[in-house]
């Protein structure tokens, strides 16, 4: 074992300053979990202690008590794998490539459905669970909104329906 260390393969010791930066980053990551909706936090693979600490932090209104709770969350974060948490936060912020691609695909479908009648047939063929009558009504209302320069209520509803159908398909 001593021979392995003599070869120069020994890991570099982490400086105290770097250790503090790493702990601060974990604390900030844990604090950013408080910005996520509770349903997303529940879906993450978190320890029971950390999940409980996050629930408690949401209820705390006192500034100093909340600061101490965030410190405690940072301590508990040391026992967690930060990779899935960072991925969930990136997706929630819309920064992940997959989230951007999904958003672009949804917008393209909505635009195609409003612009072209044949797109509805194609969409219904790809998504048999789609209620064609509801989609047809939303498309017709969206076209009226565009023509009359009205607020995009039906367009938003069409987007929501398409998003739910695409999410159910994956």
Are residue 151 and residue 104 in the same domain, yes or no? yes
Are residue 67 and residue 114 in the same domain, yes or no? no
Q: Output the domain CATH number for residue 56.
A: 1.10.60.30
Residue 3 located in a structural domain: no
Tens-digit pLDDT profile for residues 127-150:
888 899 999 999 999 999 999 988
Are residue 148 and residue 104 in the same domain, yes or no? yes
Q: How large is the average pLDDT for residues 164-168?
A: 87
Residue 5 located in a structural domain: no
Mean per-residue pLDDT over the chain, rounded: 87
Can you give the pLDDT at residue 8? 57
Q: Which of 127, 125, 137, 133 is nearest to 162 (CA)?
A: 127
The residue among 92, 112, 128 that closes a domain is: 92
Residue 2 located in a structural domain: no
The angle formed by the CA atoms of residues 76, 80 and 86, to the nearest 5 degrees, is 110
Residue 76 located in a structural domain: yes
Tens-digit pLDDT profile for residues 66-75:
999 999 999 9
pLDDT at residue 1 tops 50: no
Domain that holds residue 88: 10-92
The residue among 61, 92, 123 that closes a domain is: 92
Are residue 69 and residue 136 in the same domain, yes or no? no
Print the SS3 string covering the chain.
Answer: CHHHHHCCCCCCCCCHHHHHHHHHHHHHHHHHHHHCCHHHHHHCCCCHHHHHHHHHHHHCCCHHHHHHHHHHHHHHHCCCCHHHHHHHHHHHCCCCHHHHHHHHHHHHHHHHHHHCCHHHHHHHHHCCCCCHHHHHHHHHHHHHHHHHCCCCHHHHHHHHHHHHHHHHHC
State the number of CA atoms in the 13 A half-sphere of 19 facing the CB: 6
Tens-digit pLDDT profile for residues 84-104:
888 878 777 766 677 788 889
Are residue 85 and residue 150 in the same domain, yes or no? no
Are the beta carbons of 144 and 150 closer than 8 angstroms? yes
Are residue 16 and residue 86 in the same domain, yes or no? yes
The residue among 60, 75, 92 that closes a domain is: 92
Are residue 86 and residue 117 in the same domain, yes or no? no
State how far the Cα of 67 lies from the Cα of 28, in Å rounded to an integer.
11
Are residue 18 and residue 79 in the same domain, yes or no? yes
């Amino acid at each position: 074992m001593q021979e392995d260390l003599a070869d120069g393969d020994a890991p570099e010791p982490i400086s105290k300053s770097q250790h503090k930066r790493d702990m601060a980053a974990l604390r900030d990551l844990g604090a950013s979990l408080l910005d996520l909706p509770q349903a997303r936090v529940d879906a993450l693979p978190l320890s029971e202690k950390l999940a409980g600490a996050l629930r408690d932090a949401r209820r705390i209104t006192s500034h100093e008590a909340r600061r101490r709770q965030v410190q405690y969350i940072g301590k508990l974060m040391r026992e967690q794998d930060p990779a899935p948490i960072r991925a969930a936060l990136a997706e929630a912020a819309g920064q992940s490539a997959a989230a951007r691609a999904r958003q672009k695909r949804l917008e393209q479908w909505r635009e195609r459905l409003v612009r072209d009648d044949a797109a509805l047939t194609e969409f219904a063929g790809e998504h048999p669970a789609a209620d064609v009558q509801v989609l047809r009504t939303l498309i017709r209302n969206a076209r009226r909104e565009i023509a009359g320069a009205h607020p995009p209520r039906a367009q938003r509803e069409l987007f929501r329906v398409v998003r739910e159908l695409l999410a159910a398909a994956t």
